[in-house]
Structure 1
Amino acid sequence: MKIKLDLTSENFKPILKFLKISFPEFKFLYTESFLSIEPEPSNSELESIKEIARIVIFAERLKSEALLYEHDPKYLLFKGDVQKDLDLSGDVKWMKPGMALLQGDVLSVKKQLERTFESIALKDYSAVEIENPGLWSMDIFHKTGYLGDFPHEALFVLGTNNASKCLSMVSEHFEGENLTEAVENFPSIVNCVNLIGGCQPSVCTSCYFALGNQMQLQNQLYTTYNRVFRNEGGNTLARLLSYSVRDIMAVGNINFVIKQRNNFITTCKEFMKSLGLKFKIEASNDPFFSKKLKKITFQNSGALKYEVLAYIPFSDSWLAVGSINYHLQTFGEAFEIKLKGGGIASSCCMGIGFERLVFALFSQFGPNLKLWPKEVMGDKGLLNATK
């Protein structure tokens, strides 16, 4: 089926993101003012597809100052697909798509980046550190509404019922020759498992939970480090099921939070510049499941999310390696965080995904650290400790 849509190439890219998430069973192709859809959608599905296109086009028009900052140090960039080199060297080994083991130079660079950003959080910002378990209870999913917006990203945790029959059935189902990732026979053991919770898709939310039900909160900065989990994955460090993130969060009154959000933007600029990377910071939206799509018109108009995007030369594309997010009072309301003197707390956060940042560095500078720019790897370079 084809429907006529007058779009620019810039409009179609965000529309395609939302369509793929909301209707993963369809294939979409836009050429010469027509959107091709296979297989043919029902009338209700077609109306939803048209509504998504209309809302995203409207939201894109509301964007102001989409490109906040761009930096290009003009280094000679590596042109090959560096992931192949990292796999051949053994620095990256794959358990399965999305599950990577790191060692060698890749791990050394990652550890140094983590130490540097931890120092920014603890020394430059004097942030209070909070440790989180890496898992969310279903109550946190409910309070944040995450599964209403991002059901396609969720990964859940199941536990076996502590009864001999259940233990035996689960053991037989998953052990030895019976081990399979196929779920056709899963109903046979569904009554033997409990839904414990989910793998956390963000690290900052657990910290807002830790501040929940406070009545006298004062302006404060916090930080946390852990892994986040997304239901995606391929044989590239750019797309992993689980990757490491450190967030720095500001929680307090609106003036404090906005000031810190601006500070976070400056920090991200300087941090990325110190790595010698070609990058940009621009307003963006995560693609939502269509059930909650209309909220993007407000998010877009308020520039609530800025992405830190690093250039990937071999694919001539941009990869999100971090973000700065202004949450308004969303988490203050969800977890009943109240300010000293009254009112609901606002919040913002800055986060860096380290495997993605490592991938961007190797993609731009190549697999051999000795050939990286001396400004990055020299005695005064940020990564000199990896030599």
Structure 2
Amino acid sequence: MNSLKKIRIQGFKSIVDQEFEPGQVNVLIGANGSGKTALLEAIGMLSAAISGTVDNEALQRRGVHLTTPQLYKSSFKDVENHQIGLSMQWQDENALWHYAVELENENSQGAWAYQAEHLKLNNELILQPQHKDTDGTFPVKPQYTYEGALSESKNVSVQGISALLKTLKSYAIYTPITPMLRDLITDPRSFSEPFLGLSGNRLANAMQDLIDVENETYGYLDLDEVLDLLDWIDSIKVESQNADLPKILRFTELFMRKDNNMFTAHDASEGSLYVFFLLTLAMHPDAPLIFAVENFDQALHPRLARALAKFFCMAIFGNPRQPIAFLTTHNPLVLDGLNLRDERVRLFAIDRDSKGYTTRVII
């Protein structure tokens, strides 16, 4: 089984130095401004770094909120910080991989420079590129690929690092927004055509791959049980328009007359769209292998959020691709839907100490 074993973040926003061990479903709960989003965005910067370039496009594609480079770096009165340090450990069937990088941006513009970087296999250093150029400056993009560098070594298989790269490169932070779930507006961050937009565009297109009305399944969940989460829906289907337009969701209302009981995503309750968005993200074969969702309970009644948390875990654990999810929430009832005795589920209480540093407590 492949798994993300450990992440360490240094000098990123309110996170001065924190290390944590994720599970498969990771729930972050805490007050506004405690550092939940900072943690998700630090993983986004780590994803960009191991992909080869840390610039605005790479960060925005992963759902990181853009700001000036100086505001990404911790700037507490008692901490002098000039760079951001990020590292992670990844376990596959045969090996433990460790990747670490230090990033700096002194000019407050352009891409971040790699000041240091290394890759270890079973605690043995196997790759440590020398990033400083002949003029003493640091490049913003490494002139190599990890697979290429490792393929030159007779003693190292590239299989493990390829799995790590595939997982981390796909990382994205999703922030569903109702007008985009309805496909009324388009997300400007859509650089390409992902299966599902970071704010919910193309939801119907993605759902079509999972809905099987004949067998009454939604992915590998029972469709009727999913619809029971939303007690007003009798049936659901996806209809095609012409090739240039997104597909349309159509709901049949349970309690209304048959001559007036059809709704599209434009008219359906926003809570129902959030439910299908989250379950689709958990099960779709084209979804990122590691992803985050901001405000998991947004637009949901507390009881629905609790029930959805249970179904979301079922969807994640039933996925043979073994995705890893990070979720933020403000709603304690979400926690009632989690089985905290399951080692795959981790709950992190995020807070800030008397100095303003982000801290976390594993529950």
| Interval of TM-score (by shorter of Structure 1 and Structure 2) | under 0.3
**Given the two structures, how large is their TM-score scaled by the length of structure 1?**
0.23
The structure with the greater share of residues assigned to helix is 1
**Given the two structures, how large is their TM-score scaled by the length of structure 2?**
0.24
